[in-house]
C-alpha cells in the first residue's frame, strides 16, 4: 500500500488542505501545533473509522459542523480512494455515513457501511485496524509501548499478531520467506560489484594515490597563485596610484590653463584700469582748469560790482538787495524829475496868465508893470533852473540805469559762476573719489595678479615633477602580472576540477565497495536466515514454544540489522537478545544483559524503533506473505539529539529502508527532514494550517 494524497476538510487546524505523498521517505515537518500529527490521525480515521478516544472531539475542527477526510492510495497497480465524514449534532460528534465511500479506479466498490469498507480494505491491503496501529503507525509516545508492556501481555499480543495458532499459514508464509531470501541471495550472487570487489578495491587504491599526488600539486599551485595574486595586487596598487597622480596632474594642467586665462584677463583688466585712471586724471585736470576759469570770471564780476558801487565781499542775497537799491534811486530821481517838470509847467502857465491878464494867479490881485516884469523874470529864471535840474536828473537816471545794467549783468554772471562752481566742485570730488577707487582697485588687482603668477609657478613646478612614462611602465607591469595570475589560476582551476572528478570517482567507488560489502554481509545473513527458516519450516507442526523460539531468532536478526543501521559506527554497537516472551535485552561487551529500563533515553528510542520495525517486517511476512510496505512514524526522534548525530543516523537509516515502499514521518526536526526524499512543510497562520511542498 502506498498513500498518494490525503485531503482534509475542517480537521483540527486544517480548514482545507491537500497533502501529496510519494514513494520512498516522506517527511511532514513543522513547529508544534501546526497540524502535522493531525494528518496521521486523519489517515487512521479514514481507513478504519474508529475514534482513538471516546469521541471524535479530538478530530473535528472547533466551531465546524462537519468535516471530511479523503485518502487516495495505490495497491497492486490500482488506485483507491476512501472518504469518511464527521458531523456535529448538538454536543456529540459522529460519523457521517453518507460520506463513507470506497472507489477503485474511480469506480465505487463500497459505501455507507463500515463493515463492508473494512472487509474490502483488508482484502486489498491485508491490514486491519489492530495490525495497522501495532506495526504500521508508530504513534507519538507509543513507540515504546511494547517495550514497556508486561512480558506475558507482550507475548500474548505478539502471538496473536504472528498468527502462531495457524501453523499451516505460518508454514506457507515461511516458505515464501525462504523463496524470497533465495531469490535475493541469487540476485546478490550475480551482482558484478560483489564478484569484482577486489578489482574495485585496486581501482580505489590507484585513484587514492592519484588523488594524493594531485592534492600536493594543488598545494604548490595554490602557493604560486598566492604569489601571483600578491604581485598583481602590488602592480594594481602602483598603477592605481600613478593613474590617480596622472588625474591629479591633468587637473593641475586644467588649473594651469585657468590660471593663464585668469592672468591674461588680469593683464587686460590692469591695462583697462590704467587707461581709465589716465582718463580720470585728465578729467580731474580739466575740471580744475574750468574751476580756475570760473574763479577768474567771478573776480571780474566782483570788480564790476565794486565799480558799480556794490560791496563785493557780501553774500549773494545781500548783493541782490543792493542791486534792488538802484531801482529805488532811479524811481526817486524820476519822481523828482517829474515833480520839477510839473513845477515848470505850472510856472509856464502862471507866466502866460500874467502876460495876458496882469493878475496874480494866486491872489487874483492886479499887478503893476514892474512887479509883473520882475515876477515874470523870476518865474522864467526859476524855469531855466528847473530845466537844468531836469536835465541833470535825466543824466543821473541814465547813468544809474547804465550802472544798474552793468551791475545786473555782473550779478547774473556771478550767480551763474557760483552755481557752476558748486557743481564743478561736487564733480571734482566725485571724480577724485572715482580716481581713488580706481587706484585702490588697481592695487588690489595687482596683488591678485601677483598671487595668480605665484600659483602658476607652483602648478608648473608640480606638473614638471610628473613623468608620464611611469604610468605606461606600471600598466605594462600590471598586464604582465595579470597574465601570470590568469595562467596560474587557470591551471589551478583545471586541477581543482580534476580533483573534484577524482573525489567523485573515489566516492562512487567507495560507495560501490561499501554496497558490495553490505551485500556480502547481507548474503551471509540471508544464508543464516534461510537456514533458520528451513529449520522453522521443518518444525512448523511442532509445539508453539518451539515455533515462537524460531520467530524470536528471526526477530532478533531483523532487530539487530535495523539497530546496526541506526547506531552506525559513531557509538558502541548494541547487541540485542530477545527471550521467548519477545522481551528484548541488550548484551554488553562484558556479556552482561541490560534490561530496557536501564538504557538511556536515546538507546531506548533506537531500540524501540528497531524492535517495532523488526516486528512489523516479520509480522507482515507471516500474515500477508510480503514485507511491510508502508510505515507511519509520528515524532520518532523522541529522546534523540542532534549533538551525537543520532537523529541524522535514524533519518539516514530510514532513508535506506528500500524494502519498505513508503515511509511517512512527522517531525519538528529539520535535521531529520533533511534526509527525506519528499518534504512537506506545515505552518499555522491565524489558527489555520498551511501546506507547502519543499521538495
Q: In this predicted model, what pLDDT tens digit does every residue of 44-100 receive, in sequence order? A: 999 999 888 778 988 999 989 999 999 999 998 999 999 999 999 988 999 999 999
**313-to-309, 310, 319, 343 alpha-carbon distances in Å:** 12, 9, 9, 43
Of 66-75, 377-386, 503-512, the range with the highest mean pLDDT is 66-75
Give the count of beta carbons closer than 10 Å to the beta carbon of residue 524: 11
Of 360-374, 424-438, 639-653, the range with the highest mean pLDDT is 424-438
Tens digits of per-residue pLDDT, 545-555? 777 788 888 88
The mean predicted confidence, pLDDT, of the chain is: 84
Nearest to 103 by CA among 122, 82, 123: 82
Contact (CB, 8 A) for 171 and 621:
no
| Separation of alpha carbons 665 and 656, rounded Å | 14
Q: Which H or E run includes 577?
A: strand 575-578
Span 440-451, mean pLDDT? 91
Q: What is the pLDDT of residue 22?
A: 95
**pLDDT surpassing 80 at residue 640:** no
Cell output for 540: 512448523
Tens digits of per-residue pLDDT, 666-687? 999 888 899 999 999 999 998 8
| Separation of alpha carbons 636 and 649, rounded Å | 12
**pLDDT surpassing 70 at residue 369:** no
Q: What percent of the chain has pLDDT over 70?
A: 92
| Separation of alpha carbons 613 and 681, rounded Å | 25
Q: What is the pLDDT of residue 166?
A: 60
With DSSP H G I counted as helix, E B as strand and the rest as coil, what are the percentages for the chain, rounded to 5?
A: 65, 15, 20
Contact (CB, 8 A) for 655 and 677:
yes
Q: What is the pLDDT of residue 368?
A: 61
**pLDDT surpassing 90 at residue 105:** yes
Select the more confidently predicted residue: 28 or 382: 28
Q: What is the pLDDT of residue 570?
A: 54
Q: What is the pLDDT of residue 245?
A: 85
Question: Predicted confidence band at 349 (pLDDT cuts at 50, 70, 90)?
Answer: confident
| Separation of alpha carbons 56 and 65, rounded Å | 12
Point out which residues pair with 632 in neighbouring strands.
137, 664
Give the count of beta carbons closer than 10 Å to the beta carbon of residue 485: 20
Q: What is the pLDDT of residue 367?
A: 59
Greatest C-alpha distance within the chain: 227
| Separation of alpha carbons 606 and 571, rounded Å | 12
| Separation of alpha carbons 632 and 434, rounded Å | 108
Span 520-525, mean pLDDT? 86
DSSP string, 109-147: EEES-HHHHHHHHHHHHS--HHHIIIIIEE-TT-TTHHH
Point out which residues pair with 665 in neighbouring strands.
27, 633
Q: What is the pLDDT of residue 171?
A: 66
Cell output for 488: 596560474
Q: Where are the domains of the chain?
A: 2-190+542-693
| Separation of alpha carbons 647 and 465, rounded Å | 72
Crossing angle for the helix pair 369-465 and 316-357, nearest 10 degrees? Answer: 160
Q: What is the pLDDT of residue 243?
A: 84
Q: Cell 485518502 maps to which residue?
A: 71
- How, if at all, do strands 584-587 and 575-578 pair? antiparallel
Q: What is the pLDDT of residue 312?
A: 64
**pLDDT surpassing 90 at residue 592:** no
Span 591-603, mean pLDDT? 77
Question: Predicted confidence band at 433 (pLDDT cuts at 50, 70, 90)?
Answer: very high
Select the more confidently predicted residue: 205 or 322: 205
DSSP code, position 637: T
Instruction: Supply the pTM of this predicted model.
Output: 0.47
Span 198-209, mean pLDDT? 88
Span 551-578, mean pLDDT? 77
Question: Predicted confidence band at 4 (pLDDT cuts at 50, 70, 90)?
Answer: very high
Reported CATH class of domain 2-190+542-693: alpha beta
Cell output for 470: 611611469
Question: Predicted confidence band at 13 (pLDDT cuts at 50, 70, 90)?
Answer: very high
Amino acid at each position: 500500500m502506498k498513500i498518494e494524497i490525503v485531503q482534509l476538510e475542517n480537521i483540527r487546524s486544517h480548514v482545507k488542505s491537500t497533502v501529496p505523498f510519494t514513494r520512498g521517505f516522506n517527511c511532514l515537518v513543522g513547529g508544534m501545533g501546526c497540524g502535522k500529527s493531525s494528518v496521521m490521525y486523519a489517515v487512521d480515521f479514514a481507513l478504519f473509522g474508529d475514534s482513538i478516544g471516546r469521541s471524535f472531539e479530538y478530530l473535528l475542527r472547533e466551531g465546524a459542523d462537519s468535516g471530511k477526510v479523503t485518502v487516495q492510495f495505490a495497491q497492486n497497480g490500482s488506485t483507491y480512494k476512501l472518504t469518511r465524514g464527521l458531523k456535529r449534532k448538538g454536543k456529540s460528534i459522529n460519523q457521517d455515513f453518507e460520506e463513507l465511500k470506497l472507489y477503485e479506479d474511480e469506480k465505487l466498490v463500497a459505501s455507507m457501511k463500515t463493515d463492508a469498507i473494512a472487509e474490502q480494505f483488508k482484502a486489498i491491503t491485508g491490514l486491519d485496524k489492530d495490525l495497522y496501529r501495532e506495526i504500521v503507525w508508530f504513534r507519538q509516545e507509543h513507540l515504546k509501548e511494547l517495550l514497556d508492556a508486561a512480558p506475558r501481555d507482550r507475548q500474548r499480543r505478539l502471538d496473536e499478531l504472528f498468527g502462531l495458532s495457524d501453523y499451516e499459514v505460518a508454514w506457507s508464509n515461511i516458505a515464501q520467506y525462504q523463496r524470497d531470501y533465495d531469490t535475493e541471495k541469487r540476485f546478490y550472487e550475480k551482482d558484478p560489484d560483489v564478484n569484482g570487489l577486489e578489482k574495485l578495491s585496486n581501482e580505489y587504491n590507484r585513484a587514492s594515490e592519484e588523488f594524493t599526488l594531485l592534492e600536493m600539486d594543488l598545494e604548490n599551485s595554490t602557493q604560486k597563485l598566492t604569489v601571483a595574486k600578491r604581485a598583481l595586487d602590488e602592480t594594481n596598487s602602483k598603477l592605481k596610484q600613478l593613474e590617480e597622480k596622472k588625474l591629479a596632474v591633468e587637473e593641475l594642467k586644467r588649473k594651469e590653463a585657468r590660471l593663464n586665462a585668469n592672468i591674461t584677463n588680469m593683464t587686460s583688466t590692469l591695462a583697462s584700469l590704467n587707461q581709465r585712471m589716465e582718463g580720470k586724471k585728465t578729467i580731474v585736470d580739466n575740471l580744475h582748469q574750468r574751476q580756475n576759469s570760473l574763479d577768474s570770471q567771478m573776480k571780474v564780476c566782483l570788480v564790476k560790482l565794486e565799480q558799480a558801487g556794490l560791496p563785493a565781499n557780501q553774500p549773494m542775497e545781500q548783493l541782490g538787495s543792493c542791486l534792488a537799491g538802484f531801482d529805488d534811486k532811479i524811481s526817486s530821481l524820476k519822481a523828482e524829475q517829474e515833480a520839477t517838470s510839473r513845477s515848470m509847467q505850472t510856472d509856464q502857465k502862471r507866466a502866460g496868465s500874467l502876460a495876458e491878464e496882469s493878475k496874480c494867479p494866486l491872489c487874483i490881485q492886479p499887478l503893476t508893470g514892474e512887479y509883473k516884469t520882475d515876477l515874470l523874470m523870476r518865474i522864467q529864471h526859476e524855469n531855466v533852473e528847473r530845466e537844468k535840474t531836469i536835465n541833470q536828473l535825466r543824466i543821473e537816471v541814465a547813468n544809474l540805469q547804465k550802472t544798474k545794467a552793468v551791475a545786473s549783468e555782473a550779478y547774473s554772471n556771478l550767480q551763474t559762476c557760483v552755481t557752476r562752481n558748486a557743481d564743478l566742485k561736487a564733480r571734482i570730488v566725485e571724480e577724485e573719489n572715482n580716481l581713488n577707487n580706481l587706484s585702490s582697485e588697481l592695487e588690489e588687482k595687482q596683488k591678485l595678479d601677483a598671487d595668480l603668477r605665484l600659483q602658476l609657478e607652483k602648478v608648473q613646478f608640480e606638473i614638471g615633477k610628473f613623468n608620464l612614462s611611469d604610468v605606461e611602465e606600471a600598466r605594462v607591469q600590471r598586464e604582465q602580472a595579470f597574465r601570470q595570475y590568469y595562467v596560474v589560476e587557470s591551471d589551478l582551476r583545471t586541477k581543482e576540477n580534476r580533483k573534484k572528478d577524482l573525489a567523485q570517482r573515489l566516492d562512487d567507488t567507495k560507495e560501490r565497495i561499501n554496497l558490495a560489502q553490505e551485500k556480502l554481509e547481507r548474503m551471509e545473513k540471508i544464508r543464516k536466515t534461510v537456514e533458520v527458516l528451513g529449520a522453522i519450516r521443518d518444525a512448523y507442526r511442532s509445539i508453539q514454544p518451539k515455533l515462537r523460539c524460531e520467530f524470536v531468532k528471526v526477530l532478533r536478526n531483523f532487530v539487530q540489522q535495523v539497530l546496526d543501521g541506526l547506531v552506525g559506527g559513531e557509538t558502541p554497537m548494541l547487541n540485542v537478545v530477545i527471550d521467548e516472551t519477545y522481551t528484548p535485552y541488550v548484551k554488553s561487551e562484558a556479556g552482561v544483559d541490560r534490561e530496557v529500563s536501564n538504557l538511556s533515553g536515546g538507546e531506548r528510542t533506537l531500540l524501540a524503533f528497531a524492535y517495532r520495525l523488526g516486528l512489523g517486517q516479520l509480522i507482515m511476512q507471516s500474515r500477508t506473505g510480503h514485507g511491510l510496505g508502508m510505515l507511519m512514524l509520528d515524532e520518532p526522534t523522541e529522546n534523540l539529539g542532534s549533538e551525537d548525530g543520532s537523529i541524522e543516523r535514524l533519518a539516514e537509516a530510514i532513508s535506506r529502508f528500500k524494502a519498505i515502499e513508503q515511509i511517512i514521518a512527522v517531525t519538528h526536526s529539520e535535521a531529520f527532514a533533511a534526509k527525506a526524499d519528499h518534504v512537506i512543510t506545515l505552518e499555522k497562520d491565524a489558527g489555520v494550517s498551511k501546506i507547502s511542498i519543499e521538495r
